[in-house]
Amino acid sequence: MALDARFEFSLSRTAMRAELLDAETELRLAYAWRDERDEAALHRLITAYMRLAISMAAKFKRYGAPMNDLIQEAGLGLMKAADKFDPDRGVRFSTYAVWWIKASIQDHVMRNWSMVRTGSTSSQKSLFFNMRRVQARLEREAAARGEDLDKHQLRQLISTEVGVPLHDVEMMEGRLAGSDYSLNATQSTEDEGREWIDALEDDGPQAAETVEHDKDIDTLREWLVAAMSKLNEREQFIVRERKLRDAPRTLESLGNELGLSKERVRQLEAAAFTKMRKSLENQSREVHEFLV
């Protein structure tokens, strides 16, 4: 932690000593990078405005991200701004860079706030960074009017103010309520305490369901074997090749092998299925009569 603080201080001090660019110099450096890919010009431009990036990064410390990470993200945003900046538009680079720096920092904060994605749309992003401020203002205004807003009324007002659906407000309220916790954490302070993951319901099949399923599969397999036994050798061959292979063969290929037409193979296949269907119906009828 001390090393991080020392690095942050050193970087900030270096940025504060960087030159201040006038509009003419800034424009010349921007042209040199855009038209000639002059890396020296790019480095000078980035270094001059690194103080701006650090200043903006400091505004996001309250979200819990390490300052060094915020500064790095701000620097990346600054470099993206330099790469996309068009000096012909007549806008100062610092004005243009603010948006890119802020966007880069905000994306980093939202990516690392929670393992669950906090928001993906621009409206959700706006809600994430403005919800607490808007909520506090609405509560102050309500108190000044002598009103007492319940949670539902407050969420509806926030939804209208920020311009997002009500369910987005409810979702974001849950995201901002606290940080992530490990399911492997114990429920008590004791070392041998049960982990939270042990309290989750198992979504997998229960033992009784597994046994019943396996029994049903075995029964169906027995019925199919019995049904296949009712077929002659040629019919069994056709059914196996058409239905029991990973890559079923075509009627034409079977016809060529058996010396039959494609239509004749189809007729034999249909007759075999009819025999099997009758056998399976008899099996199920016997089981039904036994159960009744």
Decide if 9 is inside a domain: yes
Picking from 176, 195, 222, the residue at the C-terminal end of a domain is 176
Range from 29-33, 192-196, 199-203, 225-229 that averages highest in pLDDT: 29-33
Picking from 80, 113, 146, the residue at the C-terminal end of a domain is 113
Decide if 183 is inside a domain: no
Cβ partners under 8 Å of residue 11, min gap 6: 50, 54, 71
- 11 and 85, same domain (yes or no): yes
Question: Is a pLDDT exceeding 60 seen at residue 242?
Answer: yes
Cβ partners under 8 Å of residue 152, min gap 6: none
CA 161, CA 145: separation in Å to the nearest integer?
18
> Which pLDDT value is given to residue 1?
45
Decide if 201 is inside a domain: no
Range from 85-89, 145-149, 179-183, 214-218 that averages highest in pLDDT: 85-89
- 25 and 63, same domain (yes or no): yes
Q: What is the DSSP string of 84-149?
A: H--GGG---HHHHHHHHHHHHHHHHHHHHH-SS----SHHHHHHHHHHHHHHHHHHHHHHHTT---
> Which pLDDT value is given to residue 282?
79
- 127 and 153, same domain (yes or no): yes
Question: Is a pLDDT exceeding 90 seen at residue 36?
Answer: yes
Decide if 193 is inside a domain: no
pLDDT digits (tens, 9 = 90+) for 101-128: 988 998 888 777 654 444 556 666 777 7
- 8 and 37, same domain (yes or no): yes
- 98 and 139, same domain (yes or no): no
Question: Is a pLDDT exceeding 60 seen at residue 183?
Answer: no
- 74 and 138, same domain (yes or no): no
- 164 and 61, same domain (yes or no): no
Q: Which residue has the higher pLDDT, 98 or 110?
A: 98
Q: Which residues pair with 186 in a beta bridge?
A: 195
Decide if 162 is inside a domain: yes
Handedness of CA 173, 176, 177, 179 (dihedral sign): positive
- 109 and 17, same domain (yes or no): yes
Domain with 127 in it: 122-176
- 98 and 135, same domain (yes or no): no
> Which pLDDT value is given to residue 291?
37
Picking from 113, 137, 157, the residue at the C-terminal end of a domain is 113
258 three-class SS:
helix
Q: How many domains does the chain have?
A: 3
DSSP 71: H
Task: Report the mean per-residue pLDDT for the chain.
Answer: 80
The CATH code of the domain that includes 65 is: 1.20.120.1810
Question: Is a pLDDT exceeding 50 seen at residue 2?
Answer: no
Q: Which residue has the higher pLDDT, 149 or 92?
A: 92
pTM, full prediction: 0.46
